[in-house]
Amino acid sequence: MAELDLNSLFAGWLESHAAELTKKGSKLGFAYTKAFNNVKNHSQSIENAKQLRQISCVGQKTFEFLCSKLKKHCEGENLPFPEGFASFLEERVGGKRAHELDDETSKKKPKRRSSWVPKRRSGSWAILIALYKNKGMEKGLRKEDIIESASQYCDHSFTANPAARDFYSAWDGVKTLMNRELVECVGRAPKLYLLTESGVAMARVIMQQEDIHSSPAPTVDLSFDNGVRVTPESSFIPQSQMDTPSSPLRTKLNHDAARKIYRNVPYDVWNPEDYEVAVLFDTREMRSQTERDFFQKRVSHHNISCDVRALSVGDILWIARHKHTGKEVVLNYVCERKRIDDLAISIKDGRFVEQKNRLQKSALKNVYYIVEEGGLCDMDRILEMKNSIQTAISMIMTVSKLFFERFRKSDDIVDWVVAITNILQERYSKIRLIVLRPASLENQAEYSEVLQAFREKFESRRTKYECVHSFPAYQAVLSKSDMMTVKEMFILMLMSVRGISLEKAVVIQNYFQTPRRLIEYYLENSELEEDEKAQLMFKMFGNHVGNKKIGKAVSAALYEAWGKE
């Protein structure tokens, strides 16, 4: 053991792996960083697997990673494998036995790679060209930037149109490129797409065959009207100070108006004449099964630009669309529509609270909740839940602070949407938009914090500005599961059990924290009789008051879902 300093080896491997994962935008990088810090600060010498497992933040996957690295290190240096880790040789690592991991004895079937070439002027073909022209092999590009550059090289649209039963677009070609390992995707919100070595080689061949030349580096637009006109000849910040990150002037301002960067977040400025107001309807927003495009058709008859999309939050969303580039940003207006019978069902199954919370997380200033009272499907359910519906409506206005509207029929909703849109078109004809372009957003909280910081900076001025996120960022960050925390996911999983309301789910989650701990709790009590195990939650939470109390029936249902083998 004197030949191996396991503490240093493990710390070095964890540090390099954490850096690699962080570079790719993976959240695992944070977990490996914590494991690295704990291993580095571990006071005792690590001599066996048991000691390594006992270190905080070193879970099963991290343990298997370190042991496999240790095995390869010993083989490469012709050193004996430490006896304290001998049991690792018989354990499963990544779904395989350790001896199957040996490069010499592994019998992996080589992948068959055909000489595939994308069809000329197809989506895949255009995406390769766009990434290569814009240095996509070095820094990566966002989806909207790729589409803007690739559109001229493709014969098909990069936007799907479900209303016309056109569910696929040229953008679907990126999936083919990723499956062929020509393009890789990193990050979460927004996602960045990069060319692999194979992708660079293929894109270079296509560029040569088509005689397409890479465009020169774009020049920086220095014309942000921020109360003063900034030009290269008259800059209020010297270039030497602007290029120095530690410049005291730059630190004080924290705002580079020339480069349009505030708090390390780049932004664009749209003048009122550069964009138009449009309405988006959710694809699931329909009057009936036979009139799925009712709202879109009726609103478009009033000369209003509207479209149908799968919205992450809300049923009706107002956006601004740039007249020249086609880019879209989210305005501060969103609406959730419910038929009153659907409202009753959503109250009972928990969707009402979940959807209302997601509307509040959207960080939009004007959130409308409208209820259509016509077209009732289940009158008995409505009458049965009359008091619950009245309570829910009161909570919408008093607790959640949302705007509430009631309509008798769908035609009234159409008239309301048209009226709101006309008002917004008049309002935004005098407002400049500050369009945020953050490089990456880790979660919904950061999405709101960045937007709030920009509002405090720009929206208090005499010139009317409104700070907005792009529509792709809105979709990615506020999606139901992509940016969801473990806590939120666990609560939703608990609420899928019959009888578990949001209040009960929060109580259980606060105690067990993660699904794994709940399952382990049942395993720890596996020696009990079935009836006793079914009442474990009742014994633990049966004394809570009101909606937080877990009764015997709910306790048994929870055991059926989470504890019974």
Instruction: Kindly indicate the confidence band of residue 128, based on its pLDDT and cuts at 50, 70 and 90.
Output: very high
Instruction: Kindly indicate the confidence band of residue 214, based on its pLDDT and cuts at 50, 70 and 90.
Output: low
Give me the pLDDT at residue 224, please.
42
Distance CA 118, CA 128 (A): 9
Distance CA 177, CA 356 (A): 38
Give me the pLDDT at residue 290, please.
57
State pLDDT tens for residues 11-57. Answer: 888 988 888 877 776 778 778 888 888 888 888 888 888 888 888 88
State pLDDT tens for residues 282-317. Answer: 887 666 555 667 788 888 888 899 888 888 888 899
Name the CATH superfamily for 6-89: DNA polymerase beta, N-terminal domain-like (1.10.150.110)
Q: What is the DSSP string of 81-148?
A: PPGGGGGGGGSEETTEEGGGG-TTT--PPPPP-----PPTTSHHHHHHHHHHHTTTTTT-B-HHHHHH
CATH number for the domain whose boundaries are 123-209:
1.10.10.10
Check if the beta carbon of residue 511 is closer than 8 Å to that of residue 540. Answer: yes
Distance CA 184, CA 24 (A): 10
Distance CA 241, CA 229 (A): 19
Instruction: Specify the pairing of strand 328-339 against strand 316-322.
Output: antiparallel
Q: Which residue has the higher pLDDT, 201 or 348?
A: 201
Q: What is the DSSP string of 168-203?
A: --GGGHHHHHHHTTSEEEE-SSS-EEEE-HHHHHHH
Given a cut of 90, whether residue 277 has pLDDT beyond it is yes
3-state SS, residue 206 = helix
- Burial class of 44 by CB neighbour count within 10 A (0 to 12, 13 to 18, 19+): exposed
Q: Which residue has the higher pLDDT, 244 or 551?
A: 551
Q: For 533-548, what is the mean pLDDT? A: 83
- Which helix (H) or strand (E) segment holds residue 277: the answer is strand 275-282
Distance CA 124, CA 116 (A): 11
Q: What is the mean pLDDT of the chain?
A: 79
Q: Which residue has the higher pLDDT, 398 or 216?
A: 398
State pLDDT tens for residues 83-111. Answer: 888 776 555 444 444 444 444 444 445 55
Question: How large a percentage of the chain has pLDDT more than 90?
Answer: 14
State pLDDT tens for residues 491-529. Answer: 888 888 888 887 888 888 888 888 888 888 888 888 888
Contacts of 482 (CB under 8 A, 6+ apart): 188, 189, 476
Distance CA 451, CA 433 (A): 13
Q: Which of 296, 373, 368 is nearest to 335 (CA)?
A: 368
Measured from the Cβ of residue 336, the count of other Cβ atoms closer than 10 Å reads 22
Check if the beta carbon of residue 541 is closer than 8 Å to that of residue 512. Answer: no
Distance CA 225, CA 228 (A): 6
Give me the pLDDT at residue 292, please.
66
Instruction: Kindly indicate the confidence band of residue 113, based on its pLDDT and cuts at 50, 70 and 90.
Output: low
Measured from the Cβ of residue 524, the count of other Cβ atoms closer than 10 Å reads 9
- Domain 259-478: which CATH class? alpha beta
Given a cut of 90, whether residue 276 has pLDDT beyond it is yes
